Structure 1
Amino acid sequence: MVDKLLVFVARHASSLPEGLVRALFLLAANVMWLFGIGGERQLERNIAHVLAARDGRRPARREVRRVARRGMRSYFTYFSEAMTLEARDDATLAARVRGTGHFLDAIREDAAKGSVPAALGHQGNWDYAGFWSRDHLMPVTTVAEKLSNEDLLRAFIEIRERAGISILTTHTPGLTDKLKDVLRGQEHRLVPLLADRDLSHHGEFVHAFDSVIRVARGPATLCFDLKMPLYTVNVYRERLHGERRRKAHTRWGYVIDISGRVDPADFEGMEREEALRAISQAWVDQWAPLVEEHPEDWHMLQPVFLEDMDRSRLGAVPDDIRRLFDNAPVGA
Structure 2
Amino acid sequence: MFNRFLVFLAKHPHVIPERMLRGLFLVAADVAWLFDVSGVRQLERNLNHVLTSANDGRRPSRRQLRRVSRQGMRSYFTYFAEAMTVGAQSTRRLLARTRPAGPGYPIARKVTHEQGLSIPIAIGHQGNWDYEGLLASNRLAPVTTVAERLKDDELLKTFIDIRKRVSIDVLLTGTPHLTEKLEKILTGTHASVPLMGDRDLGPNGEFVEAFGSIIRVARGPATLALDTGLPFFVVTMYRERLHGRRRKEAGISQGYVVYISEPLDIAAMRSLPREEAIHAISQAWVDEWSKAIKAHPQDWHMLQPIFLEDLDFSRLRNVPQTVVDRLDDRQRSQLRDQG
Q: For the superposition of Structure 1 and Structure 2, which TM-score range results when normalised by the shorter chain?
A: over 0.9
The residue that corresponds to 1:276 in the other structure is 278
Q: Which amino acid aligns with 2:194?
A: P
Any idea what SS the aligned residue of 1:262 has? coil
- CA offset digits 1:109-143 (Å, max 9, x no partner): 22122111000100000100011111111110000
Partner in structure 2 of residue 194 of structure 1: 196
Overall identity of the aligned pairs, in %: 53
1:13 aligns with 2:20: no
Q: Structure 2 CA distance, aligned partners of 1:247 and 1:50?
A: 34
What residue number does 1:322 align with? 324
Task: Tell me the CA shift for residue 314 of structure 1.
Answer: 2.2
**In the TM superposition, what are the counterparts of 1:163-174 in structure 2 within 5 Å?**
163-174=166-177
Aligned partner of residue 239 in structure 2, secondary structure = strand
CA shift for structure 1 position 185: 1.6
Instruction: Out of 72-81 and 19-28, give the one that drifted further.
Output: 19-28
1:253 aligns with 2:258: no
1:77-106 Cα shifts (integer Å, max 9, x gaps): 001101111211122112110000121111
CA offsets 1:216-254 (integer angstroms, 9 cap, x no match): 000010011111221101011111112211211111100
Deviations 1:161-186 (A, max 9, x none): 12110001112111111111111223
Q: Which amino acid aligns with 1:126?
A: W
Match of 1:32 in 2: 32
Shift of residue 326, structure 1, vs aligned partner: 4.1
Partners of 1:312 and 1:38 lie apart in 2 by 21
- The answer to whether the aligner puts 1:101 opposite 2:107 as a matched pair is no
In the other structure, the counterpart of 1:83 is 84
Q: 1:175 aligns with which of 169, 175, 178?
A: 178
**AA in 2 matched with 1:271:** P
- Tell me the TM-score normalised to structure 1 length: 0.96
Kept in 2, the 8 Å contact 1:206–1:213? The answer is yes
Match for 2:142 among 135, 139, 142? 139
The offset of 1:14, in angstroms, is 2.7
Gaps of 5+ in 2: 333-339
> Quick check: 2:146–2:173 contact (8 Å CA) kept in 1?
yes
Report the alpha carbon displacement of residue 260 of structure 1 after superposing the two structures with TM.
4.0
Asked if 1:267 corresponds to 2:269, the answer is: yes
The letter of the residue matching 1:102 is P
2:49 equivalent in structure 1: 49
Structure 2 SS opposite 1:213 = strand
Q: Is the 8 A contact 1:231 1:262 kept in 2?
A: yes
Q: Of residues 228, 238, 241 in structure 2, which corresponds to 1:239? A: 241
Shift of 1:328: 9.2
1:64-75 to structure 2, matched below 5 A, reads: 64-75=65-76
Which piece of structure 1 moves more, 1-10 or 294-303? 1-10
- Provide the secondary structure at the position in 2 that maps to 1:79: helix
1:293-318 C-alpha deviation (Å, 9 max, x unpaired): 10010000000001101122222111
Which residue pairs with 1:300 in the alignment? 302
Distance in 2 between residues matched to 1:194 and 1:152, nearest whole Å: 19
Q: Secondary structure at the match of 1:13?
A: coil
Task: Give 3-state SS (helix, strand or coil) of 2:215's partner.
Answer: strand
- Equivalent residue number for residue 116 of structure 1: 119
Q: Give 2:132's match in structure 1, choosing from 123, 129, 132.
A: 129
Counterpart contact for 1:116–1:228, Cα < 8 Å? yes
Q: For residue 35 of structure 1, what is the amino acid of its counterpart?
A: F
**Which runs of structure 1 show a deviation greater than 6 angstroms over 4 or more consecutive aligned residues?**
327-330
**In the alignment, structure 1 residue 150 sits paired with structure 2 residue 129:** no
- d(CA) in 2 for partners of 1:190, 1:18: 29
Mean Cα deviation higher: 216-225 or 86-95: 86-95
Q: Which amino acid aligns with 2:128?
A: N
Task: Report the more deviating stretch, 83-92 or 134-143.
Answer: 83-92
**Would the aligned equivalents of 2:312 and 2:331 in 1 still touch at CA under 8 Å?**
no
In structure 1, distance between residues paired with 2:3 and 2:38: 12
CA distance in 2, matches of 1:177, 1:12: 37
Sort the Cα spacing of 1:64 and 1:196 in 2 relative to 1 into closer, same or farther, 3 A. same
TM-score, normalised by the number of residues in structure 2: 0.94
Indicate conservation of the 8 Å contact 1:195/1:215, yes or no: yes
- Paired residue type of 2:59: R
Change in Cα spacing, 1:329 to 1:180, as seen in structure 2 (3 Å) is: closer
The residue matched to 1:15 in structure 2 has which SS?
coil
**Shift, 1:37, TM fit:** 1.5
Report if the CA contact (8 A) 2:142-2:192 is conserved: yes
